[in-house]
Amino acid sequence: MLIFGLNFQANIVKIKRRNFTKLLTSTILASSFSFKSYAENYSGPVNWAGVSFLLPFNEIETLMPITKVASEFKSDVDDASYFNSYLNKSLKEKPIKNIDLRLEGFAKDATLAFTYGFSAEFDFGEFKDNEINKTAYLMYSFGQSLLYNVYDRVIISSVPVRAISTNLISEKEKAKYPDIKAELMKRAFYNSSNPQSTMLEQFRIMVGKQSFKKKEWEGKKPRVVLVSLAKDGNNLFNNFGLSKNQFISFLGQSSTFAFGYKLESPILPFMMNAALTNTTISRFDFTTKLYNKIDVKLPNPDLEIKIYHQGWEFAEETYQENAKSLLKVSLGMAIEIEIYDNFDEKVLYKQYFFAEKTYIENKNKIMRSDAANVCELSEAILERAFLSIKDKNYRNKIISGDSVQSQYTSAIFQLDTDKPEEVYNQSELVLNALPQVDTF
């Protein structure tokens, strides 16, 4: 049976280091954190702009085809899109406390506007499980919860959003829909049969922790500015499932989410071109069937986060179980993380992490997604790396080696250092530089 992720049992093998026109100008799952931006308080209205894309509208169909189709589904309760309809319904029935959020989005005296913008999607394909005659789907959705000033069009706060959609669908169910992946994305956003685990519910929980009381972002502004792969990394993408640029984009989005989530910090959106000083917010108008857009400025980052992926390697050996010929697969990789303070012009943090995951796979590899495994393990390293900066106990654990085991898999993560005091000092430098939250 096909299972994504760290779900196979094996032995641990420790590796070594090597409007919008009008709406926006007058005006999913969200992971949002309150923070101190040290700017003047704001108590006026905030115009709600609904769901958007952080891309020019002519790039949406190419870069986010599944999300685009899902976002244009008509609601079953009003004339809006499905996504916006259920967001608005929830915000009307249960208003966010201490926020004068204008759902119509046209308050003329509003200085701030608020939107949830999709920034990237990653489709890891579909894999048929012949044993149960079902197909497995794995999709990632990344985005940002953005608050911006409608007059100078500068981002005031930005926190990352991520959703992982995993589904096992029968052929009968699949045949009901012209685009099953868009249908699954729609269900992940909101469905009445399981509302507590949807993006909408997580949005409601987390957005209440985001600050809407500032008109300027004057605290430290982190941003992932560089994601690189080892020089010989081009050969890694043969029959991989993602292009090199797609993988770099995944790392940038995943690093942004991991940093914001584990360090409970606001963070500017990741852009493939770090030299860009603005981003485009595009919103679908369900009445006109057109996209409206507005460009907002990206503040210059104070803290530059650089991710150096060292590449990965698969190793396989034959494995027998119940007369089945299987493969025991080991996947190893390493990532170096650097955080640079632009104001003080110095490196605050620079550490090297490695990991290995071991799992069982069919010998014909029909259930294997190399891209999914590599991306998943890379993301696991990043989340543990940033957690180790925040959590002293976990810092000690990952320096010694953090082993993870379940029924069908094993993995080990380690911060490779012979200078633990340096790690402690660098971690404190990063924490002291961040706009920290009081609660999560």
Give the model's pLDDT for residue 362.
74
Supply the angle between the helices 82-93 and 199-207 in degrees, to the nearest 10: 40
| pLDDT single digits (tens) 126-163 | 888 877 889 999 999 998 889 999 999 999 888 888 88
Burial class (CB in 10 A: 0-12, 13-18, 19+), 290: exposed
- Nearest-Å Rg of the Cα atoms of the chain is 22
Q: Which DSSP category does 207 fall into?
A: H
Closest C-alpha to 179, from 80, 289, 66: 66
Exposure pattern of 33-71 as b/e (b: 16+ CB <10 Å)?
Answer: bbbebeeeebeebbbbbbbbbbbebeebeebbebbbbbb
In order, the DSSP letters of 89-146 are HHHHHSPPTT--EETT---TT--EEEEEEEEEEEEEEEEEETTTTEEEEEEEEEEEEE
HSE-up of 96 (CA within 13 Å, CB side)? 23
In DSSP terms, 283 is beta-bridged to 292
Nearest to 423 by CA among 397, 393, 388: 388
Consecutive 10-residue averages of pLDDT for the chain (440 residues): 36 38 42 42 91 94 96 90 93 87 93 93 89 90 91 89 90 95 94 83 70 76 95 85 95 95 90 89 85 92 96 89 80 98 96 96 71 96 98 98 92 97 98 62
Cβ atoms 53, 279 nearer than 8 A: no
Residue 394 is encoded by which pair of tokens? 């976990």
| Residues contacting residue 15 through CB under 8 Å, at least 6 positions apart | 332, 354, 356, 412
**What does the pLDDT read at residue 36?**
42
pLDDT tens, 234-279?
889 988 989 999 999 999 999 999 998 899 888 999 999 888 889 9
Residue 226, strand partner residues? 306
Cα 130 off chain centre by: 31
CB 391 within 8 A of CB 415: no
- Asked if residues 415 and 352 have their Cβ atoms less than 8 Å apart, the reply is yes
Q: Are 9 and 186 in contact (CB under 8 A)?
A: no
| Residue written as token pair 């485009």 | 280
Give the burial class of 155: count Cβ atoms within 10 A of its Cβ; 0-12 exposed, 13-18 middle, 19 or more buried: buried
- Compute the CA torsion angle 40, 222, 377, 32 (nearest 10 deg): 10
Asked if 406 and 375 touch (Cβ cutoff 8 Å), the reply is no
Tell me how far apart the alpha carbons of residues 262 and 390 are, in angstroms, rounded to a whole number.
7
What letter would DSSP give residue 378?
H
Chain Cα centroid distance, residue 320: 37
Strands 409-415 and 402-405: antiparallel
d(C-alpha 340, C-alpha 226), whole Å: 11
